């Protein structure tokens, strides 16, 4: 099922469908513009979700796809016995759900409160069929997701816990990319552990060790990268944005 807390006037175009505050979502127009704006933007419905709310359920029919306007989303696979694997963390500007076949193989949940633009996959397909540039953009998005996925396979298959943590922090630092050395992680330790194939306890312990080493500073969700070189040695790999 689709969980939407607010859904602003789906009938009227985009101009009318900003949140009730009347202000535009706080995201640079460039971010929206980078994906699928073009001359014929498909009809979008603004959707919001609260923290931990489900946006797409695992095995849902793949009727829609989503562009993140603001916030952080995780894609999730739950095994029958409760084991969980997070496929990726997605941020503003990221598109997800377009690549489903018949159903969504992973669910999608809000890590933070999120604002999304929802498109029907039919509309997106139509746009992609019509517009060569959009098609190219979508292929590039696919390439980047594939590359990021394989990078993550190396992490899950061959890296030790400390390397996973280091890689993760570098990845998040590259994404936040505000030039600062302090990053504020939007997700909790449980999300991190399910992304890295570890337990919460191991994540904590490794963070503590890195802190005692002087490599990072830890204060809850705020992580300061004190020694980027040391982190790179531990997690040496390629960050795929």
Partner DNA sequence: CGGACAGTTGAGGCCTATCAATGGTGGTGG
Partner DNA sequence: CCACCACCATTGATAGGCCTCAACTGTCCG
Q: Catalog residues that contact DNA under the rule CB under 7 A.
A: 160-162, 188-190, 197-205, 207-208, 218, 220-221
Neighbours of 200 (CB within 10 A): 14
Compute the least distance from the CB of residue 86 to its own copies, in Å: 8
Q: Which does 201 bind (CB under 5 to 8 A by kind): its own copies, DNA, none?
A: DNA
**Rounded to the nearest whole angstrom, what is the least distance from the CB of residue 106 to its own copies in the complex?**
6
196 binds its own copies (CB under 8 A): yes
Phi first, then psi: give them for residue 184, nearest 5 degrees.
-110, 110
> How far apart are alpha carbons 71 and 128 in whole angstroms?
26
**Beta partners for residue 117, in sequence order:** 46, 67
Q: Are 108 and 66 in contact (CB under 8 A)?
A: yes
| Minimum distance from residue 161 beta carbon to DNA (Å) | 3
Work out the number of other CB atoms within 10 angstroms of the CB of residue 231: 23
Distance (Å, whole) CA 85 – CA 89: 12
Neighbours of 29 (CB within 10 A): 9
Identify the residue among 40, 139, 221, 222 touching its own copies (CB under 8 A): 139
Of 139 and 222, nearer to its own copies (C-beta) is: 139
CB of 235 to DNA, least distance (A): 12
- Count Cβ atoms below 10 Å from residue 189 Cβ, excluding itself: 18
Could you tell me if residue 16 is left (phi over 0), alpha (psi between -120 and 50 degrees) or otherwise beta? Answer: alpha
Closer to DNA by Cβ: residue 117 or 189: 189
The interface with its own copies within residues 76-115 (CB under 8 A) comprises: 77, 79-80, 83-85, 87, 99-101, 105-106
Nearer to its own copies, 87 or 186 (CB): 87
Site for its own copies in 31-50 (CB under 8 A): none
Three-state DSSP state, 143: helix
The answer to whether residue 153 forms part of the interface with its own copies (CB under 8 A) is yes
CB nearer to its own copies: give 118 or 164: 164
**How near is the Cβ of 155 to its own copies at its closest, in Å?**
9
Angle at 166 between CA 205 and CA 164, to 5 degrees: 75
| 73 counts as binding its own copies under rule CB under 8 A | no
Instruction: Say how far residue 128 (Cα) sits from the centre of its chain.
Output: 22
Using CB under 8 A as the criterion, which residues of the chain lie in contact with its own copies when the complex forms? 75, 77, 79-80, 83-85, 87, 99-101, 105-106, 128-129, 132, 135-136, 138-140, 142-147, 149-154, 156-158, 194, 196-197, 236, 238
């Amino acid at each position: 099922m689709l969980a939407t807390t607010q859904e602003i006037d789906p009938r009227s175009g985009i101009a009318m469908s900003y949140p009730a505050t009347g202000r535009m979502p706080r995201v640079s127009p460039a971010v929206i513009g980078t994906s699928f704006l073009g001359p014929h933007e498909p009809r979008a419905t603004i959707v919001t979700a609260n923290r931990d709310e489900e946006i797409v359920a695992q095995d849902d029919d793949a009727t829609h796809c989503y562009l993140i306007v603001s916030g952080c989303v995780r894609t999730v696979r739950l095994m029958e016995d409760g084991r969980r694997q997070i496929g990726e963390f997605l941020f503003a500007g990221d598109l997800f759900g377009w690549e489903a076949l018949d159903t969504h193989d992973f669910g999608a949940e809000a890590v933070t409160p999120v604002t999304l633009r929802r498109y029907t996959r039919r509309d997106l397909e139509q746009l992609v069929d019509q517009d060569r540039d959009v098609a190219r953009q979508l292929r590039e998005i696919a390439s980047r997701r594939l590359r990021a996925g394989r990078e993550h396979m190396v992490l899950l298959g061959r890296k030790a816990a400390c390397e996973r943590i280091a890689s993760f922090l570098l990845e998040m630092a590259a994404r936040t990319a505000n030039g600062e050395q302090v990053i504020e992680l939007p997700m909790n330790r449980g999300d991190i552990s399910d992304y890295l194939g570890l337990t919460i306890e191991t994540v904590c312990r490794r963070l503590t060790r890195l802190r005692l080493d002087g490599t990072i500073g830890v204060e809850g969700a705020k992580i300061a990268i004190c020694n980027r070189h040391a982190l790179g040695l531990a997690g040496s790999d390629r960050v795929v944005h």
